Each structure stands twice: as structure tokens, then as C-alpha cells.
Amino acid sequence: MSKVENGDEHDNFYHCEENETKETCNKCEVAKFRYPDGTVRLRNPHIELMDQDILYHLALGSGSHDLVEMFGDVKFVCMGGTPKRMEAFAYYIMKEIGHKLPTGTTLQDISQYSYRYSMFKVGPVLSVSHGMGIPSIGILLHEIIKLMYHSKARDPIFFRIGTCGGIGLEGGTVVISDDAVDEMGNHYYQVPMLGKPVRRPAKLDKRLVRELKGLADPEDPYDTIIGTTMCANDFYEGQGRTDGAFCDYTESEKMEYLTGLQSNGVKNIEMEVIPFAALTHHAGIRAAVVCVALLDRLKGDQVCAPKEVLDEWQIRPQKLVARYIRRYLQTKGRISFDGHGSMAVKSPRRFKLVQQESETFD
Ligand SMILES: O=P(O)(O)O[C@H]1O[C@H](CO)[C@@H](O)[C@H]1O
Ligand SMILES: O=c1cc[nH]c(=O)[nH]1
């Protein structure tokens, strides 16, 4: 027997209605799964009974590190597959929010001695690599959500900044996921626990989707669209490719499968959206996935675009998320313009979030 935890009753996960706040909405997931001050509530009674919690794959621990001092000001957690992309994003966001490092210092990979994931901190932004596929991002999310809990970060927002295969989309198109399905069309993350399957609904924050879409610039020389994202367990056969080491289906069967996905509203395929949506939702954390399509799967399987083109495409989701972060910090008065279009951080070392923050820009 499997069980869907947490029901499916609230379509808009953050607030049930547009005009409701989390204080007035008694069905709101955040009201249920966060402490009133916005800090993350862990849905695991064992953790607070432990002397210390070792976040093994991050090379951090609640006994060995002052996690409140190190991460208490985190507001945004940005994730993507590769250490290089997330290091580049850390430098990019540093410029975008005008964050200054102390003279003579450079960004450090906080998790370098885990030899698993890379993590960089730039003021209120954590930039973390998650590797490829469901188990890798699943493990990371357990530890990052615990990190948010131990550090008492308030109302953190998570983003996945990734790449994907588009379905009927030109290479370079940016997709903001508003729904997640697996290869079987399920909208949940199923994990075997104690020999039994447990399902957690994979839901993304609809309001965040709208806010991100609103930040797409009509002048951008590419499209930014909203759509359903399919999460595959594999890059090759699991995504209907015919160019893996093995293949037992024909090209026309593949095309029938892909066009079937397209007619069900699937815009892109990647490999992490289901656990990302499900575990953030389960933790009451607002989250969004923004990926750039590296190819149109209706036209082929191989990623053929030249390296420089792929590198430029990969920056597109980063730009959108950076716009969101800049806009958020501007609205909250944490960064200001110097009158020449460049920004200065008001409190570069630490962004103390003293009061409960409203969730929209307006
Ligand atoms: O570009 P990233 O974030 O790694 O994501 C996509 O790329 C990888 C496959 O090449 C998978 O992890 C898939 O989800
Ligand atoms: O086709 C693609 C491209 C990037 N990532 C995927 O998972 N699939």
C-alpha cells in the first residue's frame, strides 16, 4: 500500500487565494510547516534529540560549526548540476547584488572537503551543486533543508537553475516549471521507506512561477515559457533517446512517445524536478525550477550546439533568477542603486532578516 502524504487539496501551495496572506490562510502549507518567525520546521522528531547533526555530504555539522552564524542570513538557495556552474553563478550574483568580499579574499567552496557537492555563499545567497539525478539531489536536499533548520534561516526560497531537453522548443528557450511529472505521468515522488512505497506530492510554488515569468524581459533574444517538466531517471533510454549504449525501440516509437508527452503539456525533460518539488513542498519551502533547453528532442537526441553557445544558454536561467533576487533585495531595501545603475549592498556582511517578510514584491 502506498500513501500520498499531505493531501493534494491546495493547488496554490503558498497561499490558497491570491489575496490571502499566510497569517489569514489557515490551510496554507507554510503556516503548517514553518515556525511563525519563518524558520524551517523539521518534520523529523529525531533530529532535536541528537547531540549533534553531521551533514556528512556538505562537510558541515551542528556540533563542529556555528551554523547560525555562518548561514543564518541565507534567503536564497540556488542549485544546479555542476560545481563549475554554481561557482560561476556565485560570482555572477555577487556582481548583480553588489556584494563585496573582504579585501584579499576569494570565494571558498564551503563543502570542498566533502568531495561530493560544492557550495558557495554570497551574502544571502547559497549556490550549491547537486550532481545528476534523483538520488544525488535527494541527499543534498535532506542536508540543505536541515542546514536551513539548524541555521534558523527565515523563509528561504530555493531555485534549481538547470539544463534540459525541450519538446518542440528551440535550443536556448528558458522553461519555468509549473508542474512536475515522472516518466509514468505521476505527480509525486515515491520513495521506498521500510520496504513500503511512500509518495510525496511534487508541487511547485505557483506564485513564484508567475513572479519569475513577470521578470522575463521582452527584449531577451529568446523565449521564456511556463510548462510541465518531466523528470527522468536516466539521460538515455529513460528520456527516449536512441543514441545510448543500448536501445530496444524504434525511432518511430520514440517519436510517438515524445509527441504523446507534448500533447500532455510536457515542455521539457530533465532529471531532478520531482524530488526537488516534493521535498521543498514537504518542508514548506517556496521553490522554483528554471531550465534552459539544450536541444529540441523532436529534432534529435545529441547535444550538438557548440560549447560557447551552450555556455551562453546556461547563463539564461541564472539571469532570470538573479533578476528575482535583485528585485527582492531592492524591494526589501537591502540593496540600493548608486545613481549610475550599479548596486551597493546596504549590509554586505550580514543580512539580518528581523521581521516576518511579505511574500510578494508589491
Ligand atoms: O544541467 P543540470 O542541472 O545538471 O540538469 C540536467 O543535466 C543533467 C544531464 O545532462 C541532469 O542532471 C539534468 O537534470
Ligand atoms: O536532453 C536533456 C538535456 C539536458 N538534460 C537532460 O536531462 N536532458
Q: Domain count of the chain?
A: 1
Ligand 1 closest atom vs CA 231: 14
Q: Is residue 328 part of a domain?
A: yes
The alpha helices in the chain, defined as continuous H runs, are: 29-33, 67-71, 83-96, 134-151, 206-214, 251-263, 273-282, 307-331
Of 134, 269, 271, the residue with max ligand 1 atoms within 8 A of its CB, to mutate for a pocket test, comes to 271
Q: Which domain holds residue 51?
A: 26-345
Q: Is residue 198 part of a domain?
A: yes
What was the pLDDT predicted at 6? 39
pLDDT of 201-218, one tens digit each?
A: 999 999 999 999 999 999
Determine whether the shortest distance from the Cβ of 257 to ligand 1 is under 6 A. no
> Above pLDDT 70, what percent of the chain?
83
Question: The dihedral of CA 186, 188, 189, 193: what is its sign?
Answer: negative
Q: Could you list the residues known to form a binding site for substrate, using ranges.
A: 239, 241
Give every CB contact of residue 245 below 8 A, 6+ residues apart in sequence. 236
Q: Is residue 229 part of a domain?
A: yes
In angstroms, rounded to a whole number, what is the distance separating the alpha carbons of residues 221 and 315? 13
Q: Is residue 90 part of a domain?
A: yes
pTM score > 0.90 for this model?
no
Q: What CATH number is associated with residue 233?
A: 3.40.50.1580
**Residue 82 phi/psi, 5° resolution?**
-105, 145
Q: Tell me the mean pLDDT per 10 residues along the chain, length 362.
A: 37 46 53 79 95 98 98 98 98 97 94 98 98 98 98 97 98 98 98 97 97 97 98 98 98 98 98 98 97 98 98 98 97 60 43 35 42
Residue with cell 521500510: 194
In angstroms, rounded to a whole number, what is the distance separating the alpha carbons of residues 48 and 33? 16
Q: Is residue 7 part of a domain?
A: no
Q: Is residue 351 part of a domain?
A: no
pLDDT of 214-240, one tens digit each?
A: 999 999 999 999 999 999 999 999 999
Q: Is residue 21 part of a domain?
A: no
Q: Output the residue whose Cα is nearest ligand 1's atom 7.
A: 163
Q: Is residue 362 part of a domain?
A: no
Determine whether the shortest distance from the Cβ of 98 to ligand 1 is under 6 A. no
In angstroms, rounded to a whole number, what is the distance separating the alpha carbons of residues 3 and 10? 17
Helix (H), strand (E), coil (C) string for 157-209: EEEEEEEEEECCCCCCCEEEEEEEEECCCCCEEEEEECCEEEEEECCCCHHHH
**Grid cell at residue 171:** 535550443
